[in-house]
Chain A
Amino acid sequence: MPQAKTEGFISLMTQKQLHTLAKSWFKDQGWKPFAFQEETWEAFLDGKNGLLNAPTGSGKTYALWVAFVLDYIKNNPGYKTKHKAGLKAIWITPLRALSVEIAQAAQRFADGLETQLTVGIRTGDTPQAERAKQKRKMPDLLITTPESLQLLLTSKGYEKVFKDCTAIVIDEWHELLGSKRGVQTELGLSRLKAIAPKLRIWGISATIGNLDQAREVLLGPDSQAFKNSILVKANLGKTYKVESIIPETMEKFPWRGHMGLHLLEEVVPIINNSKTTLLFTNTRAQCELWFQKMMYKHPEFAGEMAMHHGSINKETRLWVEQAIHNESLKAVICTSSLDLGVDFAPVESIIQIGGPKGVARFLQRAGRSGHQPGKESVIYFLPTHAIELIEASALGKAAINQVVEDRIPYLLSFDVLIQYLTTLAVADGFYPAEIWKEVKQTFCFQAMTEDQWRWILNFITKGSQSLQAYDEYKKIEIEEDGKFKVHSKAVAMRHRLQIGTIVGDAALQVKYLKGGYIGTVEEWFISKLSPGDVFTFAGKNLELYRIKGMQVLVKKAKTKKQARVVSWMGGRLTLSAQMSELLREELYSANLPLDQQTRELQALKDIFDRQRLESIVPNNDQFLIETFKSREGYHHIFYPFEGRFVHEALGSLLAYRISLLSPITFSIAFNDYGFEILSDQKIDMQQVLDNDLFTSAYLFEDLQRSLNSTEMARRKFRDIAVISGMVFTGFPGKIVKNKHLQSNSQLLFEVFRDYEPENLLFQQAYRETFEHQLEEGRLRIALERIEKQEIIVKNCEKATPFSFPIITDRLREKLSSEKLEDRIKNMLRYLDKI
């Protein structure tokens, strides 16, 4: 080796020497490497790809970054004096917020070993000047997001930038796996594999049910990379304990609701007895409300308590994270924004407010406390309404058994593929034959047919499958030698802006009149307010002054008048299959003698008694249906206890089947425990039973037909239209109201339905509804279970404790078999009466 010669005494180090080098640095810090860290170093140095299963805060960054640095030292014996600039490693993180901490850790080790390696961050927050500098001279390690990686692929000559890359790490892979950002990552990796032959691919994932599949998705099924890979598990011997917060008396316990403020006083002693407490809420609105009430009732916490959620400005969030590190905060009320990354050693107590809906998420949060290996993590669960206590009880068992869910990867996401191909066409252009081979090797597109591929190519070049007279469709053009390329600067510009659009409501920036950015709120919320109205946001009472472009200008509110709390629409979570099963078992145990019940169920005695007044608490061989009449119409409530998504599907299916018997119109509501079919007509339950409407026969066909009359596929189509670039969300800063995006995607849905139903993107909306929303498999199992149960119909006078949370839910699906004209006329008759 010529390098070894010039350095004289330095020669190639053995693996053992490399390990010793790293260990001595660890020793200098007063640490000792974990077994899983050393295992990862070894596998990496052996040239393997892999998936590291390690929880947050366990030292996973050092597992992989140290491995990379040691490998670099091995191959560059003159590393202390010689440094060749250029990108050598990429670290992908799903959350921008995490990049700073990763960068600090990485730089610390690189400097500690005097490697001269540089670390840089490139995300949506990176200033333009910095990005331009990076383009001229890339850092050795680039920390970035899936979207920013895709953006890098849109730049001309990108192949040269990546060609010497030897490692890419996908952090928090479990978060990306079940989402389209995961598909985006798969596609990006398929390209990098081709242009960087020395690339090693590693993922880091928290514990999920399908870890082996997660590795297969990351590396590509049957790929060389997959064959040469390993799964490393960090066994930290963690145990968990769930402690439910149960009030002294159950009288004040609400039957529904999701804020949980009635138990506010119960958490105060927990906060007082721990160094630092994290309170996890399920929504940003709940977070705001809790903070507001806490400050009002316990002003002594002022200065020692903070709030953290995704819509608060970055500086504040970073400050809060830093303050947790420094132990200068007593408590932080947060949302899932603190789920990932950031190691918070000082956190002693975790309080979960409201059902976390999934075991994996709950355990991850529980893992936030008690970081010392072997120490038991305690998580307090605060139920927001009575029935959630059953959930708490079930969670306690889940934590002991460590049952966790799968993350289901997306298949054939043509919208993401179209976005990716446009990305390549914007940069240097691409030849389909070459890209086809790469794309086919991904997990997502392994089953894509040549016909589908041809369809996609026609779609991006012609906007349809055959040339049309008078058509001016323009996006990707085919050059003479067959290269697919975007020539229009406008198309390229729009595409770049569109990458990474998180489909959600338009976010408006909230700023003080005198300057000072506070955070973002959604357009729909602010549109309900008029100037002068007061709302609470980021823990402050603000008065709306005016809306200017995409900015909401506010003043500090002087009055103490009742303020609205900002709310966000963010997706509601559903119970996982595992969680539902635990929940059912738990519920059935309410029929056991009191002394055999858990503490939580015992506390619910009054509510169960009330439920039994007019109805029953079902056993595992019973399926309960309740009916009653109110001013709103005829309520029919069904209790499968299968989680929100399955209930949405089951509700639509049953409503559809009933609507075949006679013309009728329904609205359907659902929560994690059951669903309601509400109508202006009474449903004859005997007829439902006689016609065997719970059968799993013709499930697929009936479900498909019921879908046509509901909104589910439409909602899925919205994301697809945006990701595939059919709907443009607007230039930053310029006001293109999101309403237009919505109207566009809704209109698009309808024109596709009427004029081009064979369109693959249109069909994808239905497929996604089946695979990711309805969980057809789960639905079938649920129906088969119900078929074996005895159906018990209870005609009640009024709402029962079980039905109350469902019937008051406002999120509703609709289904009708009446003629539109008849429905209007019925409504008019109804209006006349009142």
Chain B
Amino acid sequence: MLRYFFCCRVDEPGEMTEICRAMNQSLSILDQNFVLYPSGGIFWVEKSTLLIADVHLGKVSHFRKHGSAVPFKAIAENFNQLTRIANSFEASSICFLGDLFHSSLNTEWKLFEDWVNSRTEKIILVAGNHDIINPLKYEKLGIAIYSEIITEGFLLTHHPEEREGVFNFCGHIHPGIRLGGLGRQVLKLSCFFKTENQLILPAFGTFTGNYYLEPKSGDQVFAVTKNEVIQVC
């Protein structure tokens, strides 16, 4: 029995965004429309806003700084994926649901600055436990920081929250799902995990692990593969 099996999504660089778009999942919550995207983001149609959680930028550099030689090329892939999802929706704003930056300031910040400057969307950060970089640095880039956002009956946070009368979008958990099938097959995948009043986004970053959840009845789980979002329960 393999006890710990962690999987992470790694999209092949240079993949065609058109293919991905065809395999999205659409979802309606409180009369608002949302599109779930395979690399782990959600497009909120009415607000023209892209929601992305747990990118963990700077993590690779953080490891390298501490003597663990994680491949340098993995850094670029995070930014490529961000560009890909942003290009395919042309949203008016991008909202990061926490853990955007994994560690204290390191050289990846410069790459992040370049990326932000290359975008036209308004960028917002709902801060998470990993976001310890001075807020002034974000403000200089024109990024507004909030501890939470409430709008149209929706609560956007980093940590999962249960609050009366609102639907919560959040991250932090890095949800994953185990599937079993005939012939003792087992699959482990990242997923969007939806309960009655909450939707947890998968971790977006390339160098992040998963935490496997057991769905209860009534929960909806959308597994993500390289280019498809599939509802599994």
Contact = CB atoms under 8 A, between A and B. Distances in A.
Interface of A: 459, 463-464, 468, 470-475, 488, 490-491, 494, 524, 569, 632-634, 665-667, 678-680, 711, 725-728, 739, 742-744, 746-748, 750-752, 754-756, 759, 810-812, 814, 820-821, 823-828, 830-831
A523 to B, nearest CB: 10
Interface in B1-41: 1-8, 10
A494 B183 contact: no
A524 B1 CA distance: 12
A539 B53 CA distance: 48
Contacts of B71: 464, 751-752, 755-756, 759
Given A472-B106, A746-B5, A747-B207, A823 B68 contact: no
A666 B183 contact: yes
Given A739-B4, A743-B6, A827 B65 contact: no
Contact of A821 (B66, B107, B206, B225): B225
A747 B72 contact: no
Interface in B55-108: 60-61, 64-74, 77, 106-108
Contacts of B73: 755-756
30 contacts: A463-B67, A464-B69, A471-B61, A471-B64, A474-B64, A474-B66, A475-B69, A494-B66, A632-B184, A633-B182, A634-B183, A666-B183, A678-B184, A679-B183, A680-B181, A725-B68, A726-B70, A739-B4, A743-B6, A746-B5, A746-B209, A747-B208, A751-B207, A756-B73, A811-B2, A812-B2, A820-B225, A823-B185, A824-B225, A824-B232
Nearest to A740: B209
Contacts of A756: 71, 73
B4 A743 contact: yes
Size band of the B side of the interface? Answer: 35 or more
Nearest to B75: A470
Given A524-B3, A747-B209, 5 more contacts: A463-B72, A472-B64, A472-B107, A746-B4, A756-B71
Nearest to A488: B67
A812 B226 contact: no
Given A474-B65, A746-B209, A821 B228 contact: yes
Given A470-B110, A524-B3, A464 B72 contact: yes
Contacts, number: 152
Contacts of A725: 67-68
A472 B64 CA distance: 7
Contacts of A812: 1-2, 184
B218 interface: no
Residue of B184, B187, B208, B232 with highest tally of chain A CB at under 10 A = B184
A752 B73 CA distance: 9
- Chain B residues touching A, majority SS: loop
A739 B211 CA distance: 10
B180 interface: yes
B42 interface: no
B179 to A, nearest CB: 5
B170 interface: no
A733 to B, nearest CB: 20
A823 B4 contact: no
A598 B29 CA distance: 73
B223 interface: yes
A678 B182 CA distance: 9
B72 A824 contact: no
B220 to A, nearest CB: 13
B133 interface: no
A569 B3 contact: yes
A667 B185 contact: yes
B144 interface: no
Interface in B134-174: none
A663 to B, nearest CB: 13
Contacts of A524: 3
B230 interface: yes
Contact of A726 (B68, B206, B230): B68
B111 A470 contact: yes
